[in-house]
């Protein structure tokens, strides 16, 4: 994206202002006016400071990416396992809900990795849905129906769940594994295991073969 500097005007500035205001930043009496001055500039710097970004008051690609991630809410988009991983506030909300409901994702890090996908599958199966690991409309609605159970509750994750992703990633890097599918179902399982390994760590040493 093009850099947005102090003094710029237009729709891009309005978009930045909307997102900042949604996050609770004060834009002053003029509010969303499409003008990058004064309180908007100060709000950008405050946002950068709060998120460990370079506090230059310029909305570049990094600041814009973090700003967009911070303003996603659960249900804004369909979440599933892919590379690069989905990441953002909506993923954090999903992970928090699942952890509180007893479907452990591990650490709430805002990244939709294989452990979050597994938790989504387990939740779907418990809710009588197809366990496809995709947090789409129906799954989000089911989680939303349980808001009274998880909203405002702390996401407490067992120590074993917090360290499991790191240990699994280490194993994938140092162990050579070959998964062989001997029939159609086995081939599907082989593909699935390979996809999960690739989404967990690009340096994995796992291969899939078909007999």
pLDDT digits (tens, 9 = 90+) for 70-102: 999 999 999 999 988 999 999 999 999 999 999
- pLDDT score for 138: 96
CB atoms within 10 A of CB 163: 12
pTM of the model: 0.69
pLDDT in tens, 108-156: 999 999 999 999 999 999 999 999 999 999 999 999 999 999 988 776 6
Give the lowest-confidence range in 13-22, 59-68, 187-196. 187-196
Give the lowest-confidence range in 13-17, 34-38, 56-60, 205-209. 205-209
Instruction: List Cβ neighbours of 116 (8 Å cut-off, separation of 6 or more).
Output: 81, 91, 94, 95, 98, 105, 106
- β-partners of residue 207 are 178
- pLDDT score for 162: 47
- pLDDT score for 110: 94
- pLDDT score for 160: 46
- pLDDT score for 152: 84
- pLDDT score for 183: 74
**Cβ-contact 40, 17 below 8 angstroms:** yes
Mean pLDDT of 48-55: 95
Extract the tokens encoding 126.
């418990």
**Cβ-contact 42, 17 below 8 angstroms:** no
- pLDDT score for 166: 46
- pLDDT score for 198: 67
- pLDDT score for 67: 96
Extract the tokens encoding 83.
């590379």
pLDDT in tens, 148-195: 999 887 766 554 444 455 445 555 566 677 767 677 766 766 676 666
Extract the tokens encoding 210.
């078909």
Q: Where are the beta strands (DSSP E) in the chain?
A: 177-181, 206-210
């Amino acid at each position: 994206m093009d850099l947005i500097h102090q003094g710029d005007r237009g729709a891009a500035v309005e978009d930045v202002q909307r997102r900042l205001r949604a996050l609770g930043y004060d834009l002053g009496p003029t509010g969303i006016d499409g003008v990058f001055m004064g309180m908007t500039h100060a709000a950008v710097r405050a946002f950068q400071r709060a998120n460990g970004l370079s506090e230059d008051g310029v909305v570049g690609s990094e600041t814009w990416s973090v700003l967009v991630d911070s303003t996603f809410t659960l249900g804004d988009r369909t979440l599933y396992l892919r590379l690069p991983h989905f990441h953002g506030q909506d993923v954090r909300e999903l992970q928090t809900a699942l952890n509180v409901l007893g479907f452990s994702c591990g650490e709430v890090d805002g990244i939709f990795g294989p452990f979050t996908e597994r938790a989504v599958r387990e939740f779907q199966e418990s809710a009588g849905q197809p366990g496809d690991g995709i947090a789409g409309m129906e799954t989000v609605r089911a989680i939303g129906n349980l808001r009274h159970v998880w909203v405002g509750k702390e996401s407490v994750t067992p120590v074993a769940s917090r360290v499991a992703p790191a240990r699994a990633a280490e194993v994938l890097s140092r162990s050579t594994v070959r998964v062989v599918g001997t029939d159609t179902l086995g081939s599907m399982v082989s593909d699935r295991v390979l996809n999960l390994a690739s989404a967990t760590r690009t340096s994995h040493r796992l291969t899939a073969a078909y007999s």
